[in-house]
Amino acid sequence: MVDKIKILKETGRVSSEALSYAKTVIKEGVGLLEAVEKIELFITQKGYDLSFPINISINENAAHYTPNITDKTVFNKNDLVKVDLGARREDMLSDCAITIDLSAENAKIVETANSALEEAINIVKAGRKVCEIGAAIEKTILKNGFKPIMNLGGHGIEGEELHTGAFIPNFDNGDDTELEEGDIISIEPFVTNGFGYVDETAEVQIFQLIGTPSPRSSDTRRILDLIKTKYLTYPFSLRWIARSIPELSEFKIRRGIADLIQLNALEQFPVLVERKKGVVAQAEKELIVEKDSCTVLTTL
């Protein structure tokens, strides 16, 4: 356990440094693709892998947006940008997020997300019910005139599984599941001025291997072999496939991915958008539950 905690603290520190670096990269007029690849390189050059492709979700997009290799989108001066990332070493995963307000006009919603996160962290301890954490988050958000996103929340983290164990709600959902000493969890309030729910879109750039079929297509087999050897069972992006097999066109890569989905080999992570197109702010930290409190792992 001591070695595990040491590695988690190291991955947490690198992840937090990457978030700080993201603040220097994400500027008006900068391309999303350029920013994401610089931040991912920041992590890998320190000798760490990525827990998942970096999410750069803007305005009403709440989660799971990462650019493809041909993405020409640039940051706008009015954008509210969520950066969600994590460094990985061995099978120890980090997960953390911040919101960057390029307009300087959304300070209240950003601060609400941060405050809700801190209020939740302050009450974490072994025996704490997850609904009580949700209630603390919800109270802070409602007090500031916003809504929690009801169908998003935090989660347990264990081994190779980024989302496992307890679901940490952003409202009092009545779940009396109790945290246990030694649990690794992330808490991530999502705050909106919209409806309070997110819906899946048709856009998917992030996938995860869940089965190993035997495809007929040689291109699909090549993509599957790459996933199995390089990305294992961790989430990956179409962009990563394109970088690793540059001789395959985007059409062939998408066709191969579609084949693997049809063969039930991949889980998909669609971009999530706020139902009424309200803007969304997010804050997230990873921590370990202790007897009477907790230790935050993703901190500088």
Catalytic option among 105, 163, 180, 225: 163
* 80-85: strand order across its sheet: 55-58, 80-85, 96-101
- Grouping H, G, I as helix, E, B as strand and the rest as coil, residue 269 is strand
Catalytic option among 60, 95, 259, 274: 95
Q: Chain centroid to CA 185: how far?
A: 13
Choose among 226, 206, 205: nearest CA to 215: 226
DSSP state of 179: P
**Cα distance between residue 262 and residue 91, in whole Å:** 28
User: Distances in Å between the alpha carbon of 60 and those of 64, 78, 102, 140?
Assistant: 12, 12, 15, 21
Catalytic option among 79, 119, 188, 259: 188
**Is 120 within 8 Å of 284 (Cβ atoms)?**
no
**Cα distance between residue 137 and residue 103, in whole Å:** 25
49 is annotated as an active-site residue: no
Look up residue 125 and give its two tokens. Answer: 């301890």
Catalytic option among 10, 84, 183, 274: 84
**Cα distance between residue 212 and residue 296, in whole Å:** 36
161 is annotated as an active-site residue: no
Catalytic option among 119, 274, 284, 286: 284
267 is annotated as an active-site residue: no
**Is 94 within 8 Å of 49 (Cβ atoms)?**
no
**Cα distance between residue 194 and residue 186, in whole Å:** 24
Catalytic option among 10, 79, 119, 155: 155
**Cα distance between residue 31 and residue 29, in whole Å:** 6
Angle between helix 2-25 and helix 32-44 axes, rounded to 10 deg: 150
64 is annotated as an active-site residue: no
- Positions marked catalytic: 84, 95, 155, 163, 188, 284
